[in-house]
Structure formats: structure tokens, C-alpha cells
Amino acid sequence: MPRTPYVAANWKMHKTVAETEAFLGELLPKLPANGVDVVVCPPYPSLARAVELCGERVAVAAQNMHEADSGAFTGEVSAPMLRELGVRAVVLGHSERRQHFGESDEALARKLPAALEAGLQPILCIGENEAQRDGGETEEVLTRQLDADLAELSDAHLEQLVIAYEPIWAIGTGRNATPEQAQEAIALIRQTVAFRNAEAEDAVRILYGGSVKPGNAAELIDQPDVDGALVGGASLDPGDFLPIVEAAARA
Ligand code: PGA
């Protein structure tokens, strides 16, 4: 079974409810009817409205969640709360959360099974920083993050994951990984998953993220192991995001 390409719009802390409505009003009528899974990740206040507008064609994902179902965790949101809204996926371990908000591998190890338990598809982000790449540590960093973040997930559940390879030096910098760098890292991630579950090797979808634009999306997504893209800056304008979705649908 070939893997369906997957493109997710990570809006970060952008777009009010009104801006979410305007974006979806423009994007939804133009989307290819099939051949690509499309996901939007709005900030929490826009999730419910996005679910209403997206219907079945586009899945709505949150950008984070807490690992507990409920509790004394001021400012946090749980997986069952997101599911109740109709949210279908959740970004976990984005490098901005790791860098600015102290997201740890230990917490991620607990968040992944909690997400699946609640019926949310996790989109796990991993990636090396510039010093690690320059120091030849990319492979070691990626396998270490995978081992730690997937530690509490059963092997049988691995194929339900989406993983995003997001080199930190490429995020928001305009300096994307080359197609060869993306392919090499993503093939390594697939191998690492395969060591635990051979069937997940072919099933798990692994995305590239980091300065994906209409002009470079096709060459990245056309790589054999690259199953799609996690798009930040270029996902804020439907005129930029749509050609990326179309490139994935053609891949
Ligand atoms: P970017 O962000 O496309 O703006 O580089 C990607 C991401 O952070 O997921």
C-alpha cells in the first residue's frame, strides 16, 4: 500500500478566528479532492471553528497538549478536551516548544500514548540544530530523540504516528535542507522505526519541515522516503499553501 502524502499547516501563534475563517474560505474550495491528506494546526481559540469549516476533507490538529486527561495544570489543555472539539491530530515536540517552553523527551514519551489513547494522531517533530549537523551528530541526535520520545509507545502503535523531520537550522530561516539531506535523514528515521516494527516501516508517514515553499516543495516531497511536509511560514497564505498541497498530491 503506497503511503498517502500528508501536508500540514503549522500556523504557530498566527491567525485569529476571523483570519482562520478567511483562510479556509479561500483554501477549501480549491483543494484537490483526494490524493493528499491535508491538516491545519491553528492556535487553540480557532480549533472549534476550524473543525466546523473543514468537515471531513481537512483534519484539524492542535499544536501541543498535556499528557494528563485533567488536573491542576493551569494553562494546559488535554487530549480528551481536544477530541471533544473534533480535533483529530496533535503536533508534539516542535523545536519551538523544546527551545522556549522546556518540552522534554520524558514528557513527550508520556504524551504520545496519551494522544493515541484519546484518538488523536500524534505528529512528532524531531531534528538536529546547526552545531549538531556541522559536528556530524545528526544521526545520533535523531536516533536519541526517537528512542526517548517513543519509549512508552508500544511497537504495534508505531504505524499510527506521523513523524516530522525538522532540522532546526532550516525552520523559519529560508534555508531548507536539500532534497538529499531530507531523504537521508528521513530514511534513517524510517530505519529506526523498522527496528521496532517491520510493518510500520512502510506505513509510518514521515514529513520534512523547514522553509518549505511552493518553489521547493515538489523536489523535497518527490524523494522516495519523504511523505509530505510540515509547513510554517508558507502555510499562512492559501496562495502559498495550495501549490505545496498540489505538489504533494502529484508526488
Ligand atoms: P517554516 O516552519 O516552514 O516557517 O520554516 C516549519 C515549522 O516550524 O514547522
- The stretch 223-234 carries a mean pLDDT of 98
| Catalytic residue status for 166 | yes
Atom of ligand 1 nearest to the CA of 212: 3
pLDDT of residue 79: 98
pLDDT of residue 2: 85
| Spacing, Cα 11 to ligand 1 middle (Å) | 9
| Catalytic residue status for 157 | no
Q: For 101-112, how does the pLDDT look when each residue is reduced to its tens digit (9 = 90+)?
A: 999 999 999 999
Q: For 137-160, how does the pLDDT look when each residue is reduced to its tens digit (9 = 90+)?
A: 999 999 999 999 999 999 999 999
pLDDT of residue 99: 97
| Spacing, Cα 72 to ligand 1 middle (Å) | 32
Q: For residue 126, give the 3-state DSSP assignment.
A: strand
Phi-psi region of 226 (alpha: psi -120 to 50; beta: other; left: phi over 0): beta
Q: Quote the CA–CA distance of 189 and 14 in Å, as a whole number.
A: 30
Residues with CB under 6 A from ligand 1: 10, 166, 171-172, 209-212, 230-234
Atom of ligand 1 nearest to the CA of 210: 5
| 26, 15 contact by CB (below 8 A) | no
Q: For 110-130, how does the pLDDT look when each residue is reduced to its tens digit (9 = 90+)?
A: 999 999 999 999 999 999 999
All three cell numbers of 99: 527551545
What percentage of the chain carries pLDDT values higher than 90?
Answer: 99
What percentage of the chain carries pLDDT values higher than 70?
Answer: 100
Q: Quote the CA–CA distance of 150 and 140 in Å, as a whole number.
A: 15
Show the DSSP H helices in the chain as ranges. 17-27, 47-54, 79-85, 95-101, 105-118, 130-134, 138-149, 179-196, 198-203, 217-221, 238-250
Which residue out of 6, 7, 10 has the highest number of ligand 1 atoms within 8 Å of its CB and is therefore the one to mutate?
10
| 38, 31 contact by CB (below 8 A) | yes
| Spacing, Cα 174 to ligand 1 middle (Å) | 9
pLDDT of residue 29: 97
| Spacing, Cα 210 to ligand 1 middle (Å) | 5
Which domains are assigned to the chain? 6-250 (3.20.20.70)
Q: For residue 95, give the 3-state DSSP assignment.
A: helix
Which protein residue has the closest C-alpha to ligand 1 atom 9?
Answer: 232
> Quick one: pLDDT band at residue 1, thresholds 50, 70, 90?
low
90 pairs with which residues across the strands?
62, 122
pTM to 2 decimal places: 0.97
Q: For 23-53, how does the pLDDT look when each residue is reduced to its tens digit (9 = 90+)?
A: 999 999 999 999 999 999 999 999 999 999 9
pLDDT of residue 118: 98
Mean pLDDT score across all residues of the chain: 97
Query: Which of these is catalytic: 67, 94, 96, 246?
Result: 94
> Quick one: pLDDT band at residue 228, thresholds 50, 70, 90?
very high
**Is the Cα torsion angle 144, 146, 150, 155 positive or negative in sign?**
negative
Which residue out of 130, 231, 240 has the highest number of ligand 1 atoms within 8 Å of its CB and is therefore the one to mutate?
231
- The stretch 220-235 carries a mean pLDDT of 98
| Spacing, Cα 232 to ligand 1 middle (Å) | 4
Which protein residue has the closest C-alpha to ligand 1 atom 7?
Answer: 232
Atom of ligand 1 nearest to the CA of 235: 3
